[in-house]
Structure 1
């Protein structure tokens, strides 16, 4: 495949699945500048890895794997900096999808968001993918862990959420 065709194919797929970039960046970064940085880094890493993308696999699964790895690396590299201690900002609206916006004044949403933000990067990724209604098999493939491990971790997280919100 020539460079122009490769670039066009990449741009088309990226545009079709761009929400993944924003969801991951919003899940791992509190500040707009950090979200922009992570989003740009995700796109750069996706482009860099695109020649090795296996079209027999779902693009969204491949994209999630790279996006989550970039975001987790970003958080880990900046973990000691105060600006990455994630706290709720009451003025932020969380985009659930294009048709629904939930303002953080809703106590259940705030409690869930606070819980998610307290989790380590792997558990955040699990919750993000679970809340997006990905199958356990797909989550396992994205995160590189077994389906059994996904099921166990999600069940434990559900219990911890119930305890946190109660």
Structure 2
């Protein structure tokens, strides 16, 4: 990868890395797992970046890579994440701290979300990020109608979990 592309990746990654922290928060239960998943998603983004054509927004592309990486890792390893070594350039990316002191309601919501399937977690995550159904369907590779139906079912399930 040339230096110009490398600098562009680092700049854009640092600007949008909160997306990756949010994905990690949905799919992990502790800081160590969060850090491991963050690293793995960063590596996957780095590997895929030269192929990013700009057909979608960078944030949508990052969501898709992040969610797919998290889902794939958790399915393969049954919640044990194996990490790879950083390339030397990735050491120059500074990870901003993610505030883990969420309000009690947010903690309860995350606890409820953790009980959902991997795909449902991704769907609710994008919904909570104010993505419209078109963006959700593009990111997850499902139809808009399917995204709407799944979202209604997820909302009902979360209400049941939160209000037994």
Q: Name the TM-score, length of structure 1 as normaliser.
A: 0.80
Q: Deviations over 1:80-120 (max 9, x none)?
A: 66xxxxxxxxxxxx959xxxx6333x4xx444222200111
Q: What's the CA shift for 1:9?
A: 1.1
1:24 equivalent in structure 2? 23
**Aligned CA distance change for structure 1 residues 20 and 26 (closer, same or farther; 3 Å):** same
Preserved CA contact (<8 Å) 2:61 2:139: yes
In structure 2, how many angstroms separate the alpha carbons of the residues matched to 1:44 and 1:55? 19
Instruction: Give structure 2 stretches of 5+ with no counterpart.
Output: 81-97
1:85 equivalent in structure 2? none
Matched, 1:148 2:145: yes
Q: Name the TM-score, length of structure 2 as normaliser.
A: 0.81
Moved over 6 A (4+): none
Matched, 1:125 2:155: no
1:102 equivalent in structure 2? 102
Instruction: Give structure 1 stretches of 5+ with no counterpart.
Output: 82-93
Residues 59-74 of structure 1 mapped to structure 2, 5 A cutoff? 59-74=58-73
In structure 1, how many angstroms separate the alpha carbons of the residues matched to 2:110 and 2:54? 34
Q: CA RMSD in A?
A: 2.0
3-state SS of 2:102 partner: strand
Residues 155-166 of structure 1 mapped to structure 2, 5 A cutoff? 155-166=152-163
Residues 36-115 of structure 1 mapped to structure 2, 5 A cutoff? 36-79=35-78, 95=99, 102-104=102-104, 106=105, 109-115=106-112
Count of matched residue positions in the alignment of Structure 1 and Structure 2: 146
